[in-house]
Amino acid sequence: MKKNTHQRLRQVQHLVLDMDGTIYLDGILFETTRPFLRSLEELGLGHTFLTNNNSRSRADYARHLQRLGWEVKPTSVFTSAHGTLEYLAAHLPGIRRIFVLGMPGLVEDFEQGGLIVTDQQPEAVIVGFDRHLTYDRLCQTAYWIEQGIPYLATHPDAVCPTQQPTVLPDCGAICALLEVATGRRPDAVPGKPSPEMLAGVMRQNDLQADQLAMVGDRIYTDVKMALLAGALGVLTLTGEATAQDAAESMMPPDLIVEDLADLAGQLTAAKRE
């Protein structure tokens, strides 16, 4: 644990929880997840579930988590779609009409956010993860990108994690194809590790960065975003990264925990001093 991390834990009022590799794996909740979430309630701490994967809407994710055994409000879910909405509101507030390359869940969240999704004369192009990708749709996306209008990618992930015997090219890989075709890279990528993601959570819950802890299993997305935003970066060793990865990282986490039970114990100790 870094110096003063115990004191920083005492300041935490809200935890942002990555999903896959942190609260569940392959759609199955870790045994520690429900007790951990109950401990947050007992300590009076809020929480938000966060993911770069925008193939589902926040309402779909809430239903997914409910099926796994935990009641969740849609407003407690934040995806890279919402990070993108935050970026647009802050940097391109006049934009209303957008062209979207992505799944229906992404379109749903943008429309819930007050945007008009259209194929005709958009004011911006937004590329996300799209498992229904077609060549014609790629061509149309490339055309609008070539027109010089603002172009955003929701998140930088090259592949979507899977245990199946396949590779799932994600938003970053699609954007690489479009860069070769158009010569343009996205103007901005608001998903993890961009601090735009945590800015939205802080605004929604009226929090400052020192009141927030980001908990995840990846150093280059979860921990990096936390450090860039000024939040407490907590690495759990239940997913991708190992303790050796953390020791060798140029952006080491503020705190490393074995699992959510370990984190619950440290939070409880810090809060009850």
In this prediction, residue 70 carries a pLDDT of 86
Superfamily of domain 5-52+192-221+238-271: HAD superfamily/HAD-like (3.40.50.1000)
Write down the pLDDT at residue 2. Answer: 56
Question: What CATH architecture is 82-182?
Answer: 3-Layer(aba) Sandwich (3.40)
| Topology agreement, domain 5-52+192-221+238-271 and domain 82-182 | yes
- Give the containing element (helix H, strand E) for 85: helix 80-91
Cα gap 7→189, rounded to integer Å = 33
The dihedral through the CA atoms of 57, 62, 63, 69 has a sign that is positive
| Structural domain boundaries in the chain | 5-52+192-221+238-271, 82-182
Beta strands in 2-103 (DSSP E): 14-18, 24-25, 28-29, 46-51, 77-79, 97-101
Ranges of residues in the chain with a pLDDT under 50 are: none
Cβ neighbours for 198, distance < 8 A, ≥ 6 positions apart: 16, 209, 212, 214, 225, 226, 229, 231
Q: Tell me the three state secondary structure of residue 142.
A: helix
Do 218 and 18 form a contact (C-beta atoms < 8 A)?
Answer: yes
The helix or strand, by DSSP H or E, that contains position 161, with its residue range, turns out to be none
Can you give the length of the chain in residues? 273
**Preceding peptide of 104 cis, ω within 30°:** no
Instruction: Read off the tokens for 28.
Output: 């199955």
Q: Any idea what the Cα angle at residue 239 is, between residues 238 and 243, rounded to 5°? A: 70
Query: Cα separation of 54 and 105, whole Å?
Result: 7
pTM check: above 0.85: yes
- Residue 202 confidence (pLDDT): 95
Is residue 247 within 8 A of residue 218, CB to CB? The reply is no
Contact 39, 32 (CB under 8 A): no
Q: Give the span between the Cα atoms of 236 and 253, in whole angstroms.
A: 10
**Residue 25's pLDDT is what?**
82
